[in-house]
Amino acid sequence: MKLQIENINVSQIVFGSPGGIENGIVIVDREAVLGFIRELDPRISEVHLDIAQPGDSVRIMPVKDVIEPRVKIEGKGVMFPSLHDDENEMVGEGITRVLKGMAIVTSGRVVGFQEGVIDMSGPGADYTPFSQTRNLVITCEINDSCSSHQKEAILRKVGLETALLIGKLAKDGQPDETITYECKSLAEQVLEHPELPRIGYIYMLQSQGLMHDTYLYGVDAKNILPTLLSPTEVMDGALISGNCVAASDKVTTYMHQNNPVINELMKHHGSRYNFVGAIVTNENVTLQDKERSSAFTCKLAKQLGLNAAIITEEGYGNPDTDLVMNCRRLEEAGIETVLITDEFAGRDGESQALADATDKANALISCGNGNPTVVVPPMDIILGHLDCADTIVGGFTGSLREDGSICMEIQGIIGATSALGFHNLAAREG
């Protein structure tokens, strides 16, 4: 499978008519897009469209998802396959054009307590990668007759459909950068570079239900068995987020599209190692399901003849058991593992970092502790609902202060401790 990514570097978003792209400036026809969104579902009661750019005194909350606008230029499939009933072709081949540096951000009252914050400036901006993207922000309210699950589904559809609509503007742009990725058949890939270690990626997807969901080709990941996935399929929209989970380690759709683990493994394939491919697996609730998925993941890893694997998770607490179980089984099968995860070790960092443990986990990369607090100052513009500050994960009674500043744990900030490594935190010696 060969996928060519063509990046158009976006320097600014402006409202204007007609929509288009000129010299890196994306022109969005505000009224046309608002009309498009209103027509997506009759249960949408209110919708607003705003622009938030790096350095603006803007706070976006509560954030549901972040999506990168892309469009298929050539090849089978479409972006976000199975979003529409008649679009079920596999993706990961051909040419995909990207509005690089731009994002669609969705906001609105869905659950409220498990959504998060994006600050475009100030100390809060240092914790989220999306303070550096040019953001088209959709604040969408759903009729209160709908359940939380219905609201999530509608808002997910709004974000994806708008990303498709805006992504089409890239058809008329000129790419600034072209990158080609190629993944051979498994028969060829496993035998390639016999002098190098065979490396795989165990890609754990949040799938605990109760709005903790990820979708693979439109299928809720709680209903899958572990399966092989080409890295180029991930880049091409095969995975989308439906998660209302703790903001700091929420894997947004944008993060799936730009998974840094996959990008790094592809970058050094053939020089440092033979990157055989990815195994996507789920994070389950019952012990039986966890054991089944873990055993299945290990079977696939052995069938690929892996020497080592990188494992990432999404979430914390219950999913830590899936992480540890995958690690233990692979290590016992002779496959060395490296875990990438964040920690929730209390505000003082003195508590147990993970909810489960194994002595086999002897190589771990920490993406930071989500519990320390930060005070973010008031912003001139609030997109969404500031009154969620006391109830979002990371917030507490009194988080929102009279002057509009917020004291919260950094787990309330989107992407602050992303267990894919898609964040800004780093460690250094004191």
Positions marked catalytic: 244
Q: Which amino acid is at 132?
A: Q
Which of 261-294 are b and which e, b meaning 16 or more Cβ less than 10 Å from the residue's Cβ?
A: bbeebbeebeeebbbbbbbbbbbbbeeeebeebb
User: Cβ contacts of residue 131 below 8 Å, gap of 6+?
Assistant: 54, 118, 119, 120, 121, 124, 125
Could you give the C-alpha distances from 71 to 23, 37, 65, in angstroms and in order?
A: 18, 18, 19
* Distance from C-alpha of 117 to C-alpha of 218, rounded to nearest angstrom: 27
- Nearest CA to 183 among 238, 253, 248? 238
Record the tokens describing residue 311, joined without a space: 């494992």
On whether the CB atoms of residues 337 and 363 are closer than 8 A, the answer is yes
* Distance from C-alpha of 38 to C-alpha of 16, rounded to nearest angstrom: 19
- Nearest CA to 155 among 134, 141, 170? 141
Q: Which residues pair with 216 in a beta bridge?
A: 219, 239
* C-beta neighbour count of 13 within 10 angstroms: 21
* CA dihedral sign, ordered 324, 331, 288, 207: positive
- Nearest CA to 370 among 331, 414, 334, 416? 416
The counts of H helices and E strands in the chain are 8, 24
Could you give the C-alpha distances from 50 to 88, 130, 383, in angstroms and in order?
A: 32, 15, 8
Q: Which amino acid is at 226?
A: P
Tokens 């950068």 — which residue?
A: 177
Q: Which amino acid is at 307?
A: N
